[in-house]
Amino acid sequence: MRRASILSTIFGALFLLFAQGQARAEGGAGPEAMTMGNMCMVMFGYDMIHITSYLPGMSRSEYCEEIPATGKVIMVFDIENPRFRDLPIEIRIIRDPLTPVTSDTKLDPLTEVHFPATRYRTGTFSFEHDYMNNGHYIGMVTLTKESGEQETQIFKFSVGETLWQYVPYLLGAVLIGMLIFFYWRHSHPAARKEPQAAS
């Protein structure tokens, strides 16, 4: 029974690792941003703006936090609340400085894309940008309310292969290696008793 339990655990871990790999290959979302399927979102109170990314000419998949290749990327923004369609919305994409972004951070040297505040009355808008380098990026969505107050929400994403994308696979390999080791120890009890017999 114990061997069967360990074997089922190993196969379960292998299945989960494979499923995670498939999800990432199909544009699965990472752990940082709020996501729904392969669609990221930013929240303003209980209202949301959906963000979906595409690689034109390379794949029909939708991507969220992990865009697997550099080059031209189309980002589509869908405004759920009709009231927001009459409010100015500013979009800025910056390279992640890997330090906290504060009001004192100079954004211009980091900016990859910037669209000044605009009213998107159709409720959806998109843009295409050519990302030249692998790396981590931060999207900043700023909504100007009727009162003139501004609120900024962010979403993070990566472009191209980055080191962090391999961490789940490395952890999975370590887990499977440990399970195989413990299975071998349990299935070869004589290997543990030999030193005692020799003494």
| pLDDT tens digits, 177-198 | 777 766 666 776 655 555 555 5
128-157 b/e (C-beta count within 10 Å ≥ 16 → b): eeebeeeebbbbbbbbeeeeeeeeebebeb
pTM of the model: 0.65
Local structure of residue 173 (DSSP, 8 states): H
Q: Give tens-digit pLDDT for 70-102.
A: 999 999 999 999 999 999 999 999 999 988 888
Please say whether the beta carbons of 118 and 141 come within 8 A: no
Query: Rounded to a whole number, what is the distance in angstroms from the first to the last CA of the chain?
Result: 32
Q: Give tens-digit pLDDT for 116-126.
A: 999 999 999 99
CA distance 156 to 151: 17
pLDDT reported for residue 23: 42
CA atoms in the 13 A half-sphere facing the CB of 88: 11
Q: Give tens-digit pLDDT for 111-149.
A: 999 999 999 999 999 999 999 999 999 999 999 999 999
Place of tokens 């979403």: 155
CA distance 160 to 10: 31
- 75: phi then psi, degrees, rounded to nearest 5: -115, 130
**Nearest one of 136, 151, 58, 134 to 93, comparing CA atoms:** 136
Q: Give tens-digit pLDDT for 28-69.
A: 433 334 555 556 899 999 999 999 999 998 888 899 889 999
Exposed, middle or buried by CB within 10 Å (0-12, 13-18, 19+), for 17?
middle
* CB neighbour list of residue 6: distance below 8 Å, 6 or more residues apart: 179, 182, 183, 186
Please say whether the beta carbons of 90 and 139 come within 8 A: no
Domains defined for the chain, CATH in brackets? 34-160 (2.60.40.1930)
